[in-house]
Amino acid sequence: MTGKLITFEGPEGGGKSTHARRLAEELRARGISVLTTREPGGTPTGEIIRDLLQNDLAKEPLCDAAEALLFCASRAQLCRNVLGPALARGEWIVLDRFTDSTLAYQGYGRGFDVDTLRRMNDFATGEVRPALTLLLDLPAEEGLGRALARSGGKDRIESAPIDFHRRLREGYLELARREPGRFAVIDATAPVDAVSAAVRRAVEERLGPLPGANG
């Protein structure tokens, strides 16, 4: 079986981690070899970068350009050491965030030139490209409320002004409009089981019927 990369994207609080896990479980139940990982992170180097990005470990304000470059550095490590080899082995990959996060957060959210960020992404990823991107969409206010209830406190990204989160949501929707063949937009305000069902339908509609049947 040919390897496929499925990415989950969307604003804060959309349930990406939950639904990535659920989809991976469904694929494994159908006999598909699945790797799950996340961005930033997924490698020892990437996890250090993730901690630096989220928790202000250096105790120094992180400039927006450094933030964008750190995300791409983590991505380069992940693509070359994990994603590329897994795809070459024929594995499916379920990935919590990827290149579109940089375009939405650093481009539409922070205001960097999106075409420049695309070139940075291309340099970081090499030949690794998603077969399907599942955009879990919900209003910024609802997503941030969920994220805060889950964590009990805001990390550095969640602490950004609400207008930033509104811009990145609109950015995601613009990315989906530009690439309708790759994106499937899922209403993340629906109940969890309904969202999972929509994710499964999108995978089968875009990538073909899954092997086996498990109820």
Confidence grade of residue 215 (pLDDT, cut at 50, 70, 90): very low
Q: Which of 74-83, 179-188, 204-213 comes out lowest in average pLDDT?
A: 204-213
SS3 95: strand
HSE (side-chain half, CA atoms, 13 Å) at 45: 13
Smallest Cα–Cα separation from 111: which of 54, 167, 162? 167
At 139-181, the pLDDT tens digits run: 999 998 888 887 766 666 777 889 999 999 999 999 999 999 9
Q: Report the pLDDT averaged over residues 17-44.
A: 96
Smallest Cα–Cα separation from 149: which of 139, 141, 157, 138? 141
**Which pLDDT score, from 0 to 100, does residue 214 have?**
46
**Does residue 74 carry a pLDDT above 90?**
yes
Q: Decide: 8 and 136 in contact? Cβ < 8 Å.
A: yes
Q: How far, in Å, CA of 206 to CA of 187, rounded?
A: 17
**Residue-range domain boundaries for the chain:** 4-207
Give the tokens for residue 211: 């092997």
The CATH number of the domain covering residues in 4-207: 3.40.50.300
Residue with tokens 């896990």: 21
CA angle 18, 208, 23 (to 5 degrees): 10
**Residues 6 or more apart whose Cβ sits within 8 Å of residue 102:** 68, 71, 72, 75, 117, 120, 121
Mean pLDDT of the chain: 93
HSE (side-chain half, CA atoms, 13 Å) at 127: 7
Q: Which of 25-39, 93-107, 147-161, 189-203 comes out lowest in average pLDDT?
A: 147-161
Q: Report the pLDDT averaged over residues 13-32.
A: 96
**Does residue 212 carry a pLDDT above 90?**
no
**pLDDT above 90: percentage of residues in the chain:** 81
Q: Report the pLDDT averaged over residues 187-192.
A: 97
Q: Report the pLDDT averaged over residues 188-204.
A: 97
Q: How far, in Å, CA of 5 to CA of 26, rounded?
A: 15
HSE (side-chain half, CA atoms, 13 Å) at 21: 5
**Which pLDDT score, from 0 to 100, does residue 158 have?**
75
CA distances from 87 to 59, 130, 140 (A): 38, 11, 33
